[in-house]
Chains A and B, each alone.
Chain A
Amino acid sequence: MKNLRLRSARAAKGLSQQALADLVGASRQTINAIEQGDYNPTINLCIAICRVLDKTLDDIFWEEQ
């Protein structure tokens, strides 16, 4: 399932995939894979992403039923 909330939060911060990747210490492909729903990140990476985007884990990664 695509993570559209991550994509919109990133866009709201004015960051490209590459910029976000540089800030969290990951590759651009990894950010793309998370947005596309092809990769489940570890909790450490989730926290790093949330810190950069000023969001909570629930905001970005909690799947609503």
Chain B
Amino acid sequence: MSDGTITTITILLFVFVLSAFIWPIALGIHLELEGRKKRGEPPAYDERQKLARLRAGSRAMYALLFFLVLWAIVDQIGCFDWTASVLDLVLCALMLTFVVWSGECILRGAMLGFNQRKSESGQIISYFSLGACWTIIGGTNTDAMSSSLRAVQMLMGGSFLILGILMLYARYKRRRSDAGDGEV
């Protein structure tokens, strides 16, 4: 390896290590500045929604703990090879907590803030699109080397589809409730 290549790699590594220190500081400054901008603005979520989101967070944490214990037991028994992959563990754990938290928020009407004018239909479409995409990618991925990744892809597809179905159910429930609202 020539001296020039070694110098280039050293500089790149130096920049990489430096960025590891710089980006958390930059992110912190950005969050603080955003927080200052938003201070004094009315809150996006009302008190019941905040409570529902906190409860959902608590449930997601318990689901994560249960999942980790289950994964550890299966790994110790050694019936499946893919339990040795940390990447799969992290991806599955992230997806699980995301689904539990989002699912609870959707069912409790706390996914969108009361003054957030986001499109619910757009969310439903994006959930179903993401679910279909990941399911198709996982279903068509026949590479033996990535069999565990395939399971993660299928899990992600299934999770987004579940969220889409929950969103549709919450919408149906709300519309039924609107009919009996006694609108005047």
Binding site for B on A (CB under 8 A): 7, 11, 14-17, 21, 25-30, 32-33, 39, 41-42, 44-45
Contacts and interface: CB of A to CB of B under 8 A. Distances in A.
B182 A11 contact: yes
Contacts of A14: 184
A26 B181 contact: no
Contact of B109 (A11, A16, A17, A27): A27
A13 B181 CA distance: 15
A29 B52 CA distance: 12
Contact of A21 (B108, B114, B177): B114
Contact of B184 (A16, A21, A27, A44): A16
Given A27-B109, A29-B108, A41-B47, 9 more contacts: A14-B184, A16-B184, A25-B46, A25-B115, A26-B46, A30-B46, A30-B48, A32-B177, A41-B48
A25 B183 contact: no
B55 interface: no
Query: Closest 4 CB pairs between A and B?
Result: A29-B109, A27-B114, A26-B46, A30-B48
A2 B177 CA distance: 14
Among B49, B177, B181, B183, find the residue whose CB has the most chain A CB atoms closer than 10 A: B181
Interface of B: 42, 46-49, 108-109, 113-115, 174, 177, 181-184
A27 B177 contact: no
A39 B114 CA distance: 16
Contacts of B174: 29
A30 B114 contact: yes
Contact of B181 (A16, A42, A45): A16
Contacts of A41: 47-48
A11 to B, nearest CB: 5
B177 A26 contact: no
Contacts of A42: 47
Contacts of B183: 16-17
A32 B184 contact: no
